Amino acid sequence: MAATAYNQNIFSSSELFRNYLTCGNLHSARQVFEKLEKPDVFLWNGLIIGYARYGFHEQVISLYNRMQKTCNRPDKYTFPSVLKACGGLADMKGGEKVHNCIIKCGLDSNVVVTSALVGMYAKCQRMRNARKLFDEMPKRDVTAWNAMIASYAQNGHFEEALTLFRKMETSCLKASSATFAILISACAHLSDLEQGKALHDYFIRGQFELNLFVESALVDMYAKCGSIEVARELFEKMSQRNSVSCNAMISGYVHNRLYDEALKVFHEMQLAGVKPDLITATSILPACAHLGDLQQGKLIHGYVIRSGFKVDVFVGSALIDMYTRCGSIEIASQVFDKMSERNVVSWNVMIAGYAMHGHGEDALMLFHQMQRVRVRPDSVTYANILPACAQLAALQQGKVIHKSMKEDGFDSDIFVAGALIDMYVKCGSLEAARQVFDKMPERDLVSWTSMIAGYGMHGHGDEVLSLFNQMQKSGVKPDHVTFVAVLSACSHTGLVDEGLHYFDQMIADYRITPRMEHYACMVDLLGRAGLLEKAYAFIERMPFEPDAGVLGALLSACRIHNNVELGERMAEVLLKMEPDNVGFYISLSNIYAGVGRWDDVAKLRSVIKDIGLKKDPGCSWVEADNRVHAFRMGDKSHPQFELIYATLEDLARQMKKEGYVPNTNFVLHDLEAEEKESILCGHSEKLAIAFGLINTSPGTVIRVTKNLRACGDCHNATKFISKIVGRDIIVRDTTRFHHFKGGVCSCGDYW
C-alpha cells in the first residue's frame, strides 16, 4: 500500500512538473524537480530543454553537470540543449568536453546530435571543426544542412552559405522555410539582389510555406539591395506583422536614408499594437540622429527605460550616436558612462561625437582610456580619432597613433589613409601627408581630394593643379568637393586665370552645377586679386541669391584692399541677413581702421556694445611634450607667463633692430602708439610662438593653430622671429597655412 502511494506521489509530482514546463513556468517546475528524490532521465531532459529554450545557458550547464553525477546517462535528447548552451556562452572547452562524452555514449553518428555539434562549433567561431563534422556525417537530413548553412551565415561567410545551398539542391533534399530565411538574409548582407530574386522565385515555384520569418527576410533583403519599393509592397501585403517584420522595414528605410519614412513605420507599428523591442530602438534611433530629431530620440530612450529593457551595447551605441548628432554631447557622455558593457562600436561613436563637436582633447583622452582597458581599436576608431588630432594640431600624438595604426595592420585601409592624410595636412606636415598618399596601393576620390585640398591650404597652387591633372588622367572623376579644393587653392595663390578655367571646366566637362561654395571661391579669387568690380559682377550673374558666405568673401576683399564704399554696401546687406554676426561689424571696423577713420571705428564698437554682441576671443594652440597648450589674447594665466612675455619683449627689441615696424592699424582703438604696441605683443599667436620657443629644443619646428584669421602685424612679426631664432614656424589660421622660414612666408604676403 505504501509503495503504491509512493508511486502515485511520484506520478503526481512528475505530472505537475510537466504542466509547469508546458506553461513555461520554469521557477515552479524547478521547485517540484528539486523535491523529487530520484528524477529519471526524462525529467532531467525536460528541465534542461526548458532552460535551453529560454536561453538560460548557465543553468543548462549546471544541470548537465549534476545529471552526470547521478546514475542517469545523458542521451540524444540531452546533448542538443547542452551544446546550444555551450555555443551561447562561446564555451569552447566545455563544448569539447561534451563532444567527448557524446563519442563515449556512441551518439556521434546521430544526425540531430551532430547537427547540434556543428552549431556549437560555429558559435565558438571554429568553422573548420563544424565543416569537418558536417562532411563526415554518414547521413544528412534537412536539419543538418540547415545547421551548416546557418553556421556559415552567422559567421559572415555568406558566399559559402549560398554555395552549400546549391550543393544541397543536388542531394534531392527540399530546403525548409527556415533555410530560405537564412539564405535570403545572406543575400541582404551581400547586397546580391539578383541572387535574392532567384531565391524568391524558387521559393514561390516550390510552393513553400510562407511565414513571418521568410516575409521579414524578403523585406530586409529587397530594402538592403536598394529595391525599397518592392520591400514596401511586400510589407503592405503581409497578412500579419510582428516586431521582426516592422524592424526590417524600419531598418530598410534607414539603410536607404529615407529617415522620415522610417519614423512613419515606427508610428504605424505602435498604432497597430505591435510592441517595439530593443531591435526596434536600435533601428529607429539612427533615423532620429540623421534628422536631428532630439525630441523623438529622447522619447525612444524613455520608452526603453520604462519598458525595463537592458541597454545593451547596440542600443547604447545607437543612443550615443543619436545624442551626439543632435548636439547633446553631455547626455551622450552620460549614456556612455552608464553602460555596463561596451564594445569597440560604443567607444567609436563616443570618440566620433567628441571629435564632431570640437572636443578634441576629450576624444584623445577617451582613445587612451580605450587602450588602457585593452579594447582593440579598429579602422573606424582610427578614422574617428585622427580628426581630433587635426583639430588640435597635435602632430606628435598623431604620429603615435599612426604608429599604433601600422602595428594593428590598418595602414593600408583606404578609409583610414584618407583621415591620416587630412591629419598630417592640418597639423602642417605636408611632406608626411604626401608620403602616406604615395604609399597608398589604391586611391579613391576622398584621398585625391584630401591631398589636393592640403596643397591648397599650404599655398602650393602649382602642386594643386599638377595633382588635379594626375587625378584626371588616373580615371578618377572629380566631384563638387574636389572643385571647391581646386578653386580655393587658386584663390589663395592668386591664380585668377586658372581659377576661371576650372570653374568653366567643372560646368562644361563634368556637368557639375555650381553650388554656393563654388561661387564663394570665385568671389574670393577675384576679390583677393583686387578685381572687386569683377567679383561684384560675378555675384550679380549668380542664378540664385547669394548667401552670407559669398557676400562675406567680397567684404573680406574690401578689407584687404581698403575699399570703403563697396565694403559699406556689403556690410549693410550682410547685417540685414545676419544682424547678430559680430564678424561683419569687425570686418567693417578693420576697413575704417585701415584708412584711419577712428571715429567710425568707435561708433561701430559702441553699436556692438549696445546690442550685446561679443567678438570671438583670439585663441591659439601649440603642442609641446605631447600636450596641447592654449593661449588667449593678453593671457597671463599660464604658469610661465612672465617668461613668455619677457621672451616677446626681447624678441621685439631684436626685431626693431632688423627693421620691424609694428602695424598698429590692427588694434581697433584710437590709442597712443606705445599702448597699441603693447596690445599687439599680447596677441595669442605671439604668446603661443614664444611658449613653443621656450619649451622645445633648438631646430624644432613651431606649429601654431589659431581660431581666427592671423592679423597682419602678427604675420609680419612672425617673419622676423623666424629669421632671428633660425626656426621654421608654421601657423594655421581659419583659411590656410603660413610657413615662415628665414624671414619669408610661403604665402608671399598674398593672403
Read off the pLDDT of each residue in 647-675 and give the average, rounded to a whole number: 70
- One-letter amino acid at 170 equals T
Q: Which of helix, strand or coil describes residue 622?
A: strand
Cα 392 from Cα 397, distance rounded (Å)? 10
Task: Fill in the DSSP letter of residue 109.
Answer: T
Give the HSE-up count for residue 635: Cα atoms under 13 Å, Cβ half-sphere: 25
> Which three three-digit cell numbers place residue 7?
508511486
pLDDT bracket for residue 13 (50, 70, 90):
confident
Mean pLDDT of 127-135: 93
Q: Name the least confident of 96-110, 267-281, 650-664, 670-684.
A: 670-684
Question: At 173, which helix (H) or strand (E)?
Answer: none
pLDDT by residue (tens digit) across 470-491? Answer: 999 999 999 999 999 999 999 9
pLDDT (average), residues 408-432:
92
Is pLDDT at 660 greater than 90 in this prediction?
no
Residue 656 CA to residue 661 CA, distance in Å, equals 7
Residue 235 CA to its chain's centroid (Å): 31
| pLDDT at site 572 | 96
pLDDT at residue 14, rounded to an integer = 76
- Asked whether the predicted pLDDT for residue 617 surpasses 90, the reply is no
Residue 276 CB contacts under 8 Å (≥ 6 apart), including other chains: 243, 246, 266, 269, 270, 284, 303
Mean pLDDT, to the nearest integer, of 193-215?
A: 89
Cα gap 210→195, rounded to integer Å: 19
Nearest to 281 by CA among 310, 256, 257: 310
Of residues 22 and 356, more confidently modeled: 356
Name the DSSP class of 106: T
Instruction: Report the largest interatomic distance among the alpha carbons of the chain, rounded to a whole angstrom.
Output: 122
**Lowest-confidence region among 176-190, 588-602, 622-636, 656-670:** 656-670
Q: What value does the mean pLDDT take over residues 296-307?
A: 95
**pLDDT for the residue numbered 751:** 67
- How far is residue 420's CA from residue 387's CA, in Å, rounded to a whole number? 8
Indicate if the pLDDT at residue 268 is higher than 90: yes
- Residue 729's SS3 state is strand
Whole-number mean pLDDT of the chain? 90
What are the two backbone dihedrals, phi and then psi, of residue 298, each rounded to the nearest 5 degrees? Answer: -65, -35
> What would the pLDDT profile of 53-94 be if each residue is shown by its tens digit?
989 999 999 999 999 888 788 999 999 999 999 999 999 999
Lowest mean pLDDT among 66-75, 336-345, 431-440, 508-517: 66-75
pLDDT the model gives residue 682 = 67
Res 681: pLDDT: 54
pLDDT of 664 higher than 50:
yes
Q: What is the mean pLDDT of residues 114-126?
A: 93
Confidence bin at 46 (pLDDT 50/70/90): very high
Q: Once rounded to an integer, what is the mean pLDDT over residues 396-414?
A: 92
Percent with pLDDT over 70 in the chain? 96
- Looking at the predicted structure, is the pLDDT value of residue 676 above 50? no
The C-alpha cell of 258 is what? 529615407
Residue 672: pLDDT band with limits 50, 70, 90: very low
381 pLDDT exceeds 90?
A: yes
DSSP string, 264-332: HHHHHHHHTTPPP-HHHHHHHHHHHHHHT-HHHHHHHHHHHHHTT----HHHHHHHHHHHHHTT-HHHH
Whole-number pLDDT of residue 421: 96
Give the β-pairing of 619-624 and 729-732. unpaired
**Residue given cell 526603453 in the structure block:** 304
Q: Distance (Å, rounded) from C-alpha 96 to C-alpha 283? A: 37
Band (364; pLDDT cuts 50, 70, 90): very high
Per residue in 559-611, pLDDT tens?
A: 999 999 999 999 999 999 999 999 999 999 989 988 989 899 999 989 998 88
Instruction: Give the tens place of pLDDT for each residue, 270-282.
Output: 999 999 999 999 9
